[in-house]
Chain A
Amino acid sequence: MIKIKGLTKKYGSFYALHGLDLTIKEGIVFGFVGANGAGKSTTFSILSTLLQPTDGEAYINGISVTQNPEEVRKLIGYMPDFFGVYDQLKAEEYLDFFGSSYGIPAEQREKLIPQLLELVNLSHKRYEYVDVLSRGMKQRLCLARTLIHDPKVLILDEPASGLDPRARVEMRDILKQLKEMGKTILISSHILPELAEMCDEIGVIDSGKLIAHGSVAEIQAQIMGEKFISVKYQAGYDMNLAKQFFEENPFVSSIEVIDQKIKFRFNGSDEEQMKLLRKMVEMDLPILSFAEDEKDLEDVFMAITEEVEKI
């Protein structure tokens, strides 16, 4: 459905995107994750025909974004990370305006608008002015707007940013419904766990390059060779000494001291791990616990991006 080949966007000597290659299958929810400024919005802007790439090409449903932007616009529904609404229009009029912008006949719009408002749980706000809606409601209205012409692809740039937990859950539920409707959804966030639940595939982008791509499980597997270990010391023990001990070990990195607990990344084998534990016991250190941490998605993201930074 979406094919990106060597997509590059350069501002002077700075690469916002650097040879991005990516293929996204039809009907899946693809999560684009990366820190602020990693290149997510740039990619989305190019796919939405708002930004010309310096090099490379992107295709949506086989149509070139650069050669045939008019046709691409009919296929996509784009929701930017920051957007405004026309405050002096009512929710219904807002959708009607965009419906007519896509050339949908008035009779069809009349039927479509209540359905869309119902989908995003805004039926009760149909005749309200947009400026009285909460941020979450405005986000949902904007989402309804992206659906007005029944696009095959939805490009949603951080749709949950700035929303309270309840509004986030509501947004997630709507996206699940859209997934069931068979839409191909591209969604970006800088918070990986936010995406993991609803995405079939995830792409991690950093400094304009795609550094990992696959299902959440696949990405986790990519860094399975590494472990996060936490060691808890008895109260009163000098944590500087503890830190020094681990710094001397070549397999230990990313040491973090939290009160009497020390957390680090260990990339040695099981034998090396046993050796480390044995040494600590032989030194009779006042240890209360030594345990491997369950890797959460934040750790996965941090681990991947850290690796890239080293390169």
Chain B
Amino acid sequence: MKSTFKNPVLIKELKLRFRSFKSFAGILFYLLVLSVFVFGFIFISTNFTGNGFINPEQSVLLFGMLTYVQLALILFITPGLTAGAISTEREKQTLNILLTSSQSSFQIIFGKMSSSIIFLLLLLIAGLPLYSLVFLFGGISPGQLLIIFAFLIVTMLAIASIGVMFSTLIRKTILSMISTYGAMLFLTGITAFFFVIGISTMGNSSLPNHDPAPFSHFWAMINPIALMLTLITPEMSDSLFEITKIHFPVWAGYLIFYMAITIICLLISVKKLRVNMRKKK
């Protein structure tokens, strides 16, 4: 752990990031967006009187809405922070110097990715006071909040590692960014589309003895929107089991898939950062 915080790239990246006005503008924008939703919801629920009240059902709705806003922000901000991690160094002609230093490829990739993750975590933590407003109105347990946060971090890690991987493989930042947003779009939109297609080609899924639909279940499992839905309203998991006839928890599938993405993307990044000097015999 101590050596993690001694990572020269991480320290340098944090210095550079927090000396940039853009970072503070980013935090401000993030909190403003969250505030608009939270206070907008509260004002609408209380009919702009200030005398109204929010019942626990509405609190769950606020919690759900905030979770999706948070997820959307993470899905959009993470590629922007990570898809230029290596390619920007290449474009600024600082990468070759870095690669001739004694740092291992893993140290460089880890330093780059962790600096982005730390910034994203700061965003999440900065948004916590707004998030905590839901506890004022009841209906949500701290455990539920922690689980949601844990899965937001899992999602963040996977998207960040995809960004770093494209940044390592693709020379230009703009192309790397497009590819990372493309991957993010696939995970959120295309998987949902495949799920719908899978369900609609199954025939009548309301019949009790229809065939299992493993592919539809898989597409639902790796979709962050579907995951959050099952975490906020656990009954949704039961509904999904009824449709697909696959009794495998969505959160478990999601965790395995996104951890695998993270590990694979990081391994590719580490492997491809430097040229393989060893010639094939």
A residues neighboring B (CB under 8 Å): 45, 48-53, 65-67, 69-70, 73-74, 76, 78, 80, 82-86, 88-89, 93, 97-98, 100-103, 142, 145, 149
Contacts and interface: CB of A to CB of B under 8 A. Distances in A.
Contacts of A82: 93
Contacts of B276: 52
A50 B101 contact: no
Given A80-B93, A84-B94, A66 B279 contact: yes
B275 A100 contact: no
A196 B5 CA distance: 47
B6 A52 contact: no
B93 A83 contact: yes
B141 interface: no
Contact of B278 (A48, A67, A101, A149): A67
Interface in B248-281: 274-279
B210 interface: no
- For chain B, give the interface size range: 20 to 34
Contact of B100 (A48, A86, A103): A48
A88 B16 contact: yes
7 contacts: A52-B276, A78-B96, A86-B12, A97-B11, A100-B6, A101-B101, A149-B102
Q: Which of A70, A93, A100 has the most CB atoms of chain B within a 10 A radius of its CB?
A: A100
A89 B12 contact: yes
A69 B102 CA distance: 10
B20 interface: yes
Contacts of B98: 101
Contacts, number: 82
Contacts of B99: 49-50
Nearest to B19: A88
Contacts of A66: 277-279
Given A88-B15, A88-B19, A102 B275 contact: no
Interface of B: 6, 8-9, 11-12, 15-16, 19-20, 92-94, 96-104, 274-279
A49 B12 contact: no
The interface residues of chain B, by DSSP majority, are classed as: loop
A284 B6 CA distance: 84
B8 A49 contact: no
A151 B258 CA distance: 43
Nearest to B12: A97
A223 B103 CA distance: 47
B97 A78 contact: yes
A74 B11 contact: no
Q: Which of A53, A66, A86, A142 has the most CB atoms of chain B within a 10 A radius of its CB?
A: A86
A304 B279 CA distance: 33
The 4 closest A-B pairs by CB, nearest first: A84-B92, A101-B101, A84-B93, A100-B8
A149 B8 CA distance: 15
Q: Which of B12, B100, B279 has the most CB atoms of chain A within a 10 A radius of its CB?
A: B100
A51 B279 CA distance: 11
Given A97-B8, A103-B102, 5 more contacts: A50-B99, A66-B279, A80-B93, A89-B15, A100-B8
Contacts of B102: 70, 73-74, 101-103, 149
Contacts of A102: 101-102
A149 B277 CA distance: 22
A73 B100 contact: yes
A84 to B, nearest CB: 4
Nearest to B90: A84
B16 A86 contact: yes
Contact of A65 (B16, B94, B101, B277): B277
B6 A50 contact: no
Contacts of A49: 99-100, 274-275, 277
Given A65-B277, A66-B278, A101-B101, A80 B15 contact: no
A145 B93 contact: no
Nearest to B6: A100
Contacts of A103: 102
A50 to B, nearest CB: 6
Contacts of B92: 84
